A and B are shown apart, each in its own frame.
Chain A
Amino acid sequence: DGGITQSPKYLFRKEGQNVTLSCEQNLNHDAMYWYRQDPGQGLRLIYYSQIVNDFQKGDIAEGYSVSREKKESFPLTVTSAQKNPTAFYLCASKYGTGSTMCEKLFFGSGTQLSVL
């Protein structure tokens, strides 16, 4: 099955700890995104990458870091600098530009991060 796999489904972070959320896609999509969702709120963009080895900050990048070493993988690290990390994190991907299908975002099932 083609799709986006996020792991783990639930994650707990201790004070001062960095944690990494995994996102893997086998859709051969060029662009990948990380969103944060808080209860009753919309999705806010953390980071995005349009091509391997390149990524840009979104609206709320502080306290987060990413890498894009492979086309299919876009891990997100929540650092200790992120003081309010409890949220539902969603990874998404889409085709690159030049395609009529390029606008549709495909989402993973999310990772719920909580602070111990």
Chain B
Amino acid sequence: QQQVKQSPQSLIVQKGGISIINCAYENTAFDYFPWYQQFPGKGPALLIAIRPDVSEKKEGRFTISFNKSAKQFSLHIMDSQPGDSATYFCAASKTTAGNKLTFGGGTRVLVKP
């Protein structure tokens, strides 16, 4: 049973455009929602994370929007650059359960110059 559903599977955006990736979760006990960025042949790296007590968090060109009632959260990449081309994973966990992250299926983003 997939507890975190991510869409779209792939995304092509022009340089300077906005990339938007969406995730939906089922477990209302989740209280930590990170996004990881992965380049080919490498391990993922934490990009940005949010907790359900805030509805938005911004770090540079990356913003997480969080909708607790809809059980959805999204990643917005503003002014997308070719160097942002990577696979992005959303994830969720319940911090009292050993922080076992449940990952979404991933979104491959390609930013065209």
List chain A positions with a Cβ less than 8 A from chain B. 4, 31, 35, 40-45, 48, 50, 56, 58, 90, 92, 94, 102-105, 107-110
B4: min CB distance to chain A, Å: 8
Question: Chain A residues with Cβ under 8 A from B105's Cβ?
Answer: 40-42
Interface SS, A side: strand
B16: min CB distance to chain A, Å: 27
Question: Chain B residues with Cβ under 8 A from A44's Cβ?
Answer: 103
Question: Chain A residues with Cβ under 8 A from B106's Cβ?
Answer: 40-42
Question: Chain A residues with Cβ under 8 A from B32's Cβ?
Answer: 103
A6: min CB distance to chain B, Å: 8
Listed by A's residue number, 21 A-B pairs whose Cβ atoms lie within 8 Å are A40-B9, A40-B106, A41-B106, A42-B6, A42-B104, A43-B101, A44-B103, A50-B98, A58-B100, A90-B43, A90-B44, A94-B99, A103-B49, A104-B34, A105-B44, A108-B43, A109-B41, A109-B42, A109-B43, A110-B41, A110-B43
Question: Chain B residues with Cβ under 8 A from A41's Cβ?
Answer: 105-106
Question: How many residues in B have their beta carbons less than 8 Å from beta carbons of A?
Answer: 25
User: Taking each of A31, A41, A43, which has the highest tally of chain B beta carbons within 10 Å of its own beta carbon?
Assistant: A43
User: Are A43's CB and B44's CB within 8 A?
Assistant: yes
Also in contact, A105 and B46, with CB within 8 A (given A40-B9, A48-B98)? yes
Report which of A43, A56, A94 forms a contact with B103, defined as CB distance below 8 A. Answer: A43
Question: Chain A residues with Cβ under 8 A from B100's Cβ?
Answer: 45, 48, 58
